[in-house]
Amino acid sequence: MAPWVFIFLVPAITMKSFAEEKKQGTLELLLTKPITLLQLILGKYLGVLVLIVFSLLPTLLYIYTVQQLGNPIGNIDLGATFGAYVGIFCVAAVYAAVGIFTSAISNNQIVAFLLAIIICFILYYGFEGIAEISDLAIRNFGIKYHYNTISNGVIDSRNILYFGSVAALFLFFTKLTITQK
């Protein structure tokens, strides 16, 4: 359920990052500061990631509660739980990169929000849907496949590399978009 909630939450957080800067005319001011464009993009991106981590912290109370109320006490699969947290953070990292990108390509924050939702939905469920219609191995390109693997407690470097690559790709697209304007 968390990836579906994050499809709306993360774009809502990122929709103002560059769209509002361009709309108010402060992006040019930011670009004249003694920081590189990559530092600006990564600063906004890491700010969103910190906010996402803070939104996940209260849910740790659920783990403690389930562990204490289980019969016997401590009857919880902590490996799968830890994997689910790593997986949802990776999904949120990709969604944040997509949201930063859509905010950079649009002057309107609502348009950036809607574009981010559409792209995140396609990345999460689009490849899975295409794979169900046709028997192609395209399922491996979608977020859902990699998230399900990690959330089962199997933290494989291929999955982490996938999430890191997709996030880096969208951050690179963001840099290209801002340099062309």
For range 69-82, the mean pLDDT: 82
Q: How many domains does the chain have?
A: 1
**pLDDT, tens digit, 9 for 90 and up, residues 96-123:** 999 999 999 998 999 999 999 999 999 9
Q: How confident is the model at residue 32 (pLDDT cuts 50, 70, 90)?
A: confident
Is the pTM for the entire model greater than 0.75? Answer: yes
The answer to whether 6 and 92 have CB atoms below 8 angstroms apart is yes
Report, in angstroms and rounded to the nearest whole number, the Rg of the chain calculated over CA atoms: 18
Query: Does residue 81 register a pLDDT over 80?
Result: yes
Which pLDDT score is estimated for 110? 94
Which pLDDT score is estimated for 129? 78
Alpha-carbon distances of 147 from 29, 110, 116, 164, rounded to whole Å: 39, 28, 19, 13
Which pLDDT score is estimated for 136? 67
Q: Any idea which of 8-12, 53-57, 67-71, 165-169 has the lowest mean pLDDT?
A: 67-71
Range of the domain at 92: 2-180
Which pLDDT score is estimated for 155? 85
Residue 9 has φ and ψ, to the nearest 5°, of: -70, -50
Helical ranges in the chain per DSSP H: 2-14, 19-24, 27-31, 37-56, 60-69, 78-105, 109-121, 127-133, 143-151, 157-180
**pLDDT, tens digit, 9 for 90 and up, residues 54-67:** 999 999 998 888 88
Per the prediction, the chain carries an average pLDDT of: 89
Alpha-carbon distances of 23 from 17, 30, 60, 116, rounded to whole Å: 11, 13, 38, 18
Query: Does residue 135 register a pLDDT over 70?
Result: no
**pLDDT, tens digit, 9 for 90 and up, residues 143-161:** 888 888 888 888 889 999 9
The answer to whether 100 and 45 have CB atoms below 8 angstroms apart is yes
